Amino acid sequence: MYKYVTYIFIIIGFMLFSIGFYQNLSIQKNEIKLEQNISYLKNKIYNRPWSALYIAAFYFTSISLGVLFFLGIQYVSKAGWVIVIIRIMEGIASFIPYGGIIIILILVLNSIGYIHIFSWMDLNPIDKIIINKQPYLNKVFFLIRSIIYLVGWTIFMIYIKNLSKKLDKTHNILYYNKLYKVNVIFLIFFAITSTTMGWDWIMSLDINWISTLFSWYILSSYVVTGITTITLISIYLKNKGYIPLFNNNHLHDLAKYIFATSLLWSYLWFAQYLLYWYGNIPEEVIYFFNRSKEYNNIYLWMLIPNFLIPLLGLISSNIKRNYKVITIIGFIIIIGHYIDIYNMIMPSSVYKFYGFGFLEIGSFLFMMGFFIFIIQKTLRKMEFDPKGNPFFNESKYYKYPY
């Protein structure tokens, strides 16, 4: 039954996106006041379908990447409590190559001039800032880096899953030691690629704007949503009887991570905003000015689901064990950080010709259905209890000590 629900999401999402795509194509130039830079503004108008798809693809791919990062941390820190949900993390991380391919296709279409989300690919190098960035920010090197990101993350994800499977079958501690070493290397690779990925895939949309902590800000966003997704799927599978070993103590720890990473995201949001507001340099504040003027202060409103609700809702230790409350807060956070990604991408790619309708809802439903389908397909092939892991019994009988 639930398999068909994913198909419904995919089909409805595709249909809504198609309707929105047709509506966007039917926009006539004379319906919009274009007094100058007609070609540039026309590109902004017709960017909306691709921007909506890019937002959804990046959002769900980054969730999987955040989960893989969180999984790597657990192996390197030799955490015991988390073992009963290791398979769930491996299942979520499996979406990386699928979502990543969609992102790469959008980047390729942009590089050949079919779409125009990344405006710097269309501009003649007359701006000094663009000229100075050309050794790093050029089409060929940009695509090479993007492919390296996707291939590297995918290889690590597959290798980690295979080692985990061998550990389960053999109970050989050598495979666990290999998992530790591989994840150390992965975290080093991730530290570099997650930083440059943030510059390439998001910050370069605003070619004349830079932020030294922007990649950390993006990282905090998809780590929050990654851990929240782990929690929601764990609760669902617990209710369905697939992971009976998952208990209130595991939920409590996951909720603590959601609480902590939400505060980390809030700190980075505030640090970035405060420095630019205090400095008040035109080249820097333009990022926030555009989002304030044309997007009704969306970057301020998203503090409610991404900061205030996690802060007030998860500050109590007892609430962290409440399945219903955690589920509600989890879905609010999922929506809140979609708004965050929307705020990063849409103003830069479509300017004031934005909206939230068939295109955005269709893209989100399509990618969500695809995301859930891949996770279901992956989890069906797995044994939920990783009994070969040396910390399995610790996780099985785990009890929060305080």
* 275-303 pLDDT tens trace: 877 777 777 777 777 777 777 788 888 99
Q: Specify the length of the chain in residues.
A: 402
Query: Does 227 reside within a domain?
Result: yes
Domain count, the chain: 1
How far is Cα 161 from Cα 169, in angstroms, rounded to an integer?
13
Q: Which residues span the domain enclosing 230?
A: 2-27+49-388
Query: Does 393 reside within a domain?
Result: no
Instruction: Enumerate residues 6+ apart whose C-beta is below 8 A from 324.
Output: none
pTM for the model? 0.92
Tens digits of per-residue pLDDT, 111-153? 888 888 888 887 665 566 677 788 888 889 999 999 999 999 9
Query: Does 41 reside within a domain?
Result: no
Give the dihedral sign, CA 46/49/52/58. Answer: negative
Tens digits of per-residue pLDDT, 305-353? 999 999 999 999 899 999 999 999 999 999 999 999 999 898 888 777 6
Query: Does 401 reside within a domain?
Result: no
Higher pLDDT, 208 or 87: 87
Summarize the confidence of residues 3-26 as an average pLDDT.
Answer: 84
Give the dihedral sign, CA 74/79/82/83. Answer: positive
Query: Does 399 reside within a domain?
Result: no
Would you give the end-to-end CA distance of the chain in angstroms? 41
Predicted local confidence at residue 30, as pLDDT = 46
Query: Does 398 reside within a domain?
Result: no
Tens digits of per-residue pLDDT, 172-211? 999 999 999 999 999 999 999 999 999 999 998 888 888 8
Q: Are the C-beta atoms of 52 and 17 separated by less than 8 Å?
A: yes
Q: What percent of the chain has pLDDT over 90?
A: 58
Query: Does 334 reside within a domain?
Result: yes
Q: What are phi and psi of 32, to 5 degrees?
A: -125, 140
Does position 38 have pLDDT exceeding 80, yes or no?
Answer: no
Higher pLDDT, 127 or 227: 227
102: pLDDT confidence band, cut at 50, 70 and 90? very high
Query: Does 162 reside within a domain?
Result: yes
- For residue 341, what are the CA distances in angstroms to 124, 309, 317, 344, 349? 28, 18, 30, 5, 12
Does position 41 have pLDDT exceeding 50, yes or no?
Answer: yes
